[in-house]
Amino acid sequence: MNSRAIEAAATLSSWFGAQADWRGAQFPLLKNKAPNEHSVVFITNDSKPDFLRDYPDVDKPTIEIISNPLHRYKKMLLIVGKDTADLKTAVTGLAFGHKLMTGRTASIEAINQLPLREAYDAPRWLRGDRPVHFDELIDYPKQLQAQGLNNGPVKLNVRLAPDLFTWREKGIPITLQYRNTPESSMLDSRLNMLINQEFISGFLLSKNDSLLSKTKTIMPLIGNTDTTKNAEDFSLNGINLAIRNELNFDFRFGVLKKGECSVVPAGGEYGVIDGNSNIDVSGFHHYIALPDLNVFANSGFPFTKYADLHQTLVILDDNPTPEAITLLLNLTGRFGAITGYPGHRLEIQSVSDDNSNYDDKDIMIITAANTAVSDIDENAPTSKLLKNNHRIIKQAFYNGAYDADTTVDVQVSLVSSGDLAVIAGFQSPFDSERSIVSLTASTNSAYKLLDAAFNESQWLSQIKGSAAVITSQGVSSIKADDTYFVGYVPVYTLIWFHLSDHPFGLAFLSILTLLLISFIIWRLLQALTYKRLAEGDK
């Protein structure tokens, strides 16, 4: 399958993933076989599946919906072009122009140059250049409003850049503003705040009698008024930067009681989180220790740093199997769900392609375990990549005890009938600020283990460290390579951060700094003394 055709399929899967969001999406691949379900079929004038071999040629990128010729109640979305470049154009046109498409068929006349995405500007990530208001995070009207005694909590989904540098920070600041219907002074009602179902803080709701009538009169819950608004500034702890976090604001209204058994609801209870409440991460730098497969598995980082994936390169085997391509499509669909944006600038190449421009690229390698390095030019950059990958995999197999530099290595020769896969992360040998993540399968069916690891929550939580070995029994994660850091923090913060785990070094640096300051002061005082003595002699 041509690399450009795979790029088109990956772009489409990322767009579908963005539409599916938390629901998830899977993209099994069939080659020249009629699907039994709703499906997407890629066609060029020179490459048509047998079940659509009579489909007419086209002279421009085309998108069409038809009934499956073998299963009349199933639909096919056809992505058609003169060549594979047209397929990419058709998919890009669908992703960015679908709201303008009507009818059964659409052709793409032209696509204006789409701007490159900036780092950390994914639509589903909190912006880092200013405070983000709650009304920018809602999915539907009245999402910030709660009504009645047994109301469900107000929910907001929040995803942050996973490399936010939060060292020595109390948390991420939130300015929370809320309104509620005033109540009797005999009642105590509360607003509880939870993050990922864990209690964080709570506040007593207003019960000022002077506000009660005014609230009923002007309906402050839907009006632009501050009649019963309260503001609380606090720090938000318990956030997991690697995952999508759920903020819950739970209004708990008190009730009136008569006697010991009967409960009479007060009626008309409303609470609302004001849309001008905000979360502010603009004061945080970006700096993270890698490799960390946990942030890759849960947030697609570092590839999702740029939502359009324009700094991501994927390397596949020369003849990738349907299972390997399915894994790639499922991953790009996952990236789309994380960022909310199609990865239409993803670049794909095969291991034998001569591409020396690996600088300024984060690279994902999806290959079989038997991919031979010997078949590639020893001086080729791809050879260097694959050798590093094999080294990390060996370290993973030997639980980090393998050392390629030692003169004697323990070698184990065996034949196993089971499936096995490895996810490994390491620093790019071409750019110290870039990362490599490899996904290697021992057999075609082992690619399904990798899929399962990303879709089963129990397995997903076990993917961490620099290498994860996956079998049918589960996931084992280990540290198989050295830690490196990417990102930026000020120099003085960088020094204190890296010395914080070395108290003796920190003490030595502190003493050295004091001695240096003392020496400078001594020299200044000495100069002043000489000056006064010289003036006295005159």
Q: Is residue 119 in a domain?
A: no
Residues 274 and 335 in one domain: no
Q: Is residue 331 in a domain?
A: yes
Region of poorest pLDDT, from 150-159, 209-218, 228-237: 209-218
Summarize the confidence of residues 192-214 as an average pLDDT: 67
Q: Is residue 398 in a domain?
A: yes
Region of poorest pLDDT, from 60-69, 178-187, 393-402: 393-402
Residues 183 and 294 in one domain: no
Measured in whole angstroms, the distance separating CA 186 from the mean position of its chain's CA atoms is 47
Residues 227 and 306 in one domain: no
- Phi then psi for residue 327, to 5 deg, are -60, -45
Region of poorest pLDDT, from 108-117, 143-152, 248-257: 248-257
Instruction: State pLDDT tens for residues 424-478.
Output: 999 998 899 999 999 999 889 999 999 999 998 889 989 988 889 898 888 988 8
Residue 244 has pLDDT above 50, yes or no: yes
Return the structure tokens found at 127: 């912006």
Residues 482 and 404 in one domain: yes
Residues 155 and 176 in one domain: yes
User: Model's pTM, two decimal places?
Assistant: 0.84
Residue 236 has pLDDT above 60, yes or no: no
Contact (CB, 8 A) for 12 and 40: yes
Greater confidence (252 vs 394) lies with: 252
Query: Please, which pLDDT band fits residue 399 given cuts at 50, 70 and 90?
Result: low
Residues 161 and 265 in one domain: yes
Residues 352 and 404 in one domain: yes
Q: Is residue 218 in a domain?
A: yes
* DSSP string over 520-534: HHHHHHHHHHHHHHH
Residues 162 and 230 in one domain: yes
Angle between helices 503-537 and 491-499 (to 10 degrees): 130
Length of the chain, in residues = 538
Return the structure tokens found at 158: 């929040």
Sole residue written with tokens 């047209």: 86
The upper half-sphere exposure of residue 21, i.e. CA atoms within 13 Å in the direction of its Cβ, equals 9
Report pLDDT for 209.
Answer: 43
Tally Cβ neighbours within 10 Å of residue 224: 5
Rounded Cα distance between 325 and 322, Å, is: 5
Summarize the confidence of residues 113-119 as an average pLDDT: 91
User: Structurally, how many domains does the chain consist of?
Assistant: 4
Summarize the confidence of residues 263-269 as an average pLDDT: 62
Report pLDDT for 388.
Answer: 76
Tally Cβ neighbours within 10 Å of residue 148: 14
Summarize the confidence of residues 266-291 as an average pLDDT: 85
Report pLDDT for 72.
Answer: 86
Q: Is residue 43 in a domain?
A: yes
Residues 209 and 101 in one domain: no
Summarize the confidence of residues 336-362 as an average pLDDT: 89
* Domain at 84, CATH number: 3.30.379
Q: Is residue 470 in a domain?
A: yes
Q: What percentage of the chain reaches a pLDDT higher than 70?
A: 83
Summarize the confidence of residues 366-373 as an average pLDDT: 78
Residues 86 and 105 in one domain: yes
Summarize the confidence of residues 320-330 as an average pLDDT: 95
Q: Is residue 333 in a domain?
A: yes
Q: Supply the range of the domain harboring residue 293.
A: 287-491
How many helices and strands in the chain, by DSSP H and E?
10, 25
Summarize the confidence of residues 91-112 as an average pLDDT: 92
Contact (CB, 8 A) for 155 and 137: no
Residues 419 and 310 in one domain: yes
Summarize the confidence of residues 100-122 as an average pLDDT: 91
Summarize the confidence of residues 201-223 as an average pLDDT: 44
Q: Is residue 122 in a domain?
A: no
Rounded Cα distance between 273 and 280, Å, is: 17
Residues 252 and 310 in one domain: no
Mean pLDDT of the chain: 82
- Phi then psi for residue 20, to 5 deg, are -70, -30
Summarize the confidence of residues 520-534 as an average pLDDT: 84
Question: CA separation (Å) from 488 to 285, 287, 492, 493?
Answer: 7, 6, 12, 10
Report pLDDT for 257.
Answer: 63
State which of 279, 301, 330 marks the end of a domain.
279
Rounded Cα distance between 63 and 65, Å, is: 7
Contact (CB, 8 A) for 236 and 176: no
Kind and range of the H or E run holding 4: helix 3-20
Query: Please, which pLDDT band fits residue 293 given cuts at 50, 70 and 90?
Result: very high
